[in-house]
Amino acid sequence: MRLVTAALISALIAAPAAVAQAATDGEVERLVARELKPIVPADGAGGVAVAVRIAGRTLFFNYGFADLAAKRPVTTDSLFNLASIRKVFEATLLAQAVKRGELTFDDPVAKYVVELQRGGDIRKVTLGHLATHTSGLSLPSDYPPGPERPYTLSDFIHILNAWKLNPGWAPGEQHTYTHAGYVLLQLALERRFGTTIGELFDRRLLAPLGMTSTVLGTRGADGRGELPPALIGRAVQGYSKDGEPIGGPGDQQVHFDIAGAGQVFSRRAIWPPSSPPISANWRSSVAYRRRCNSPNRACSRSARATPRRRRGKSMTTAGR
């Protein structure tokens, strides 16, 4: 989906000023179709949901299949796994809390996750470092193939206390993308406010914004990620880069066996503040939308034959 988004943004920026300012629905439709054509298989073996906000209106384009084997198309209510876009939620919670004076960016993470006060370099890391990927933290969970098994909370604390910065590095002086850092930020926020990250999402972000179709996935009895039964039928099937299904709709690829460390699911949508979205038609549909979001993956790529299901890492669910 990152490729699709980048292509569409580039195309819209490069469009002539007159078109960018007052493009007709048909012009936008043709632009979206043109940018998607080289990305999504022409035979429909894949699916994309696109929202375009332009000239005071919002257009929605749904293309292809949410699940090829079931011939289930992408629709307005298809739920996509947001993968690492979840990090925006923790970062927003942190920014809100700083603005309210409830904590500071300079607070050491060990102030809240007190088990880390027995560690070494981890005691130098602040909440701001975690949010900006400048802590220097880099664990096996951050890069393929990942750890041999998901980390439990005790595993995670032990690894963090033993962790050492690379020679010549210091927190705040280099940028190193880290999933583990955001799991640690989650723990710090939970400890500071005495509640779960899911409750913080709901109370401070989702409810105030009316995002009634956004949900944090949970871990099932078998340790695998899952969605509530009522939402599974809306979830988009994840696929590998080779087009083979990974798990089932709603599955999550996670490296942490820690409550709340699952992935967020949401539907594609943008709510215009001043005018209702304009609907049009294109392939599956261009749909009207309410003021909310909903769960699942941003771009599903399907296999061309009825495929076997397997476990693994999906290009649409990589990350946390």
3 state DSSP class of 216: strand
* Contact by Cβ (8 Å): 184, 289: no
pLDDT at residue 172, rounded to an integer: 96
249-272 CB burial, b ≥16 within 10 A, e <16: bbbbbbbbebebbbbbbbbbbebe
Report whether pLDDT(273) > 50.
no
Q: Average the pLDDT over each of 89-98, 117-126, 227-236 and give the range with the smallest value.
A: 227-236
Q: Which residues pair with 300 in a beta bridge?
A: 47
pLDDT at residue 276, rounded to an integer: 33
**Domains in the chain, ordered, with CATH?**
2-79+213-301 (no CATH), 87-202 (3.40.710.10)
Give helix then strand counts, H and E, for the chain: 10, 9
Alpha carbon 187 to chain centroid distance?
A: 18
Q: Tell me what percent of the chain is helix, strand and coil, each rounded to the nearest 5.
A: 35, 15, 50
Q: Which residue has the higher pLDDT, 310 or 146?
A: 146
- Indicate the pLDDT class of residue 38, thresholds 50, 70 and 90: confident
The yes-or-no answer on residue 84 being catalytic is: yes
Arithmetic mean of pLDDT, 310-320: 35
Report whether pLDDT(296) > 60.
no
Report whether pLDDT(224) > 90.
no
pLDDT at residue 45, rounded to an integer: 58
- The encoded tokens of residue 218 equal 């949970």
What whole-number distance in Å separates Cα of residue 316 and Cα of residue 263?
Answer: 12
What whole-number distance in Å separates Cα of residue 149 and Cα of residue 144?
Answer: 13
Arithmetic mean of pLDDT, 113-141: 96
pLDDT at residue 93, rounded to an integer: 98
pLDDT at residue 272, rounded to an integer: 40
59-116 pLDDT tens trace:
888 888 888 888 899 888 899 888 889 999 999 999 999 999 999 999 999 999 999 9
Q: Average the pLDDT over each of 20-29, 221-230, 250-259, 297-306 and give the range with the smallest value.
A: 297-306
Residue closest to 265 by CA, chosen among 18, 64, 86, 11: 86
Report whether pLDDT(237) > 60.
yes
Peptide bond into 171 cis (omega under 30): no
Arithmetic mean of pLDDT, 166-192: 96
Catalytic, out of 143, 154, 177, 288:
177
Q: Average the pLDDT over each of 37-46, 117-126, 299-308 and give the range with the smallest value.
A: 299-308
* Contact by Cβ (8 Å): 155, 162: no
- Indicate the pLDDT class of residue 291, thresholds 50, 70 and 90: very low
Catalytic, out of 78, 84, 151, 294:
84
* Contact by Cβ (8 Å): 184, 110: no
Arithmetic mean of pLDDT, 194-216: 93
What whole-number distance in Å separates Cα of residue 65 and Cα of residue 72?
Answer: 6
Residue closest to 296 by CA, chosen among 317, 269, 265, 319: 265
Q: Which amino acid is at 56?
A: G
* Contact by Cβ (8 Å): 209, 290: no
* Contact by Cβ (8 Å): 257, 152: yes
- The encoded tokens of residue 206 equal 């989702």
* Contact by Cβ (8 Å): 182, 188: no
Arithmetic mean of pLDDT, 54-60: 84
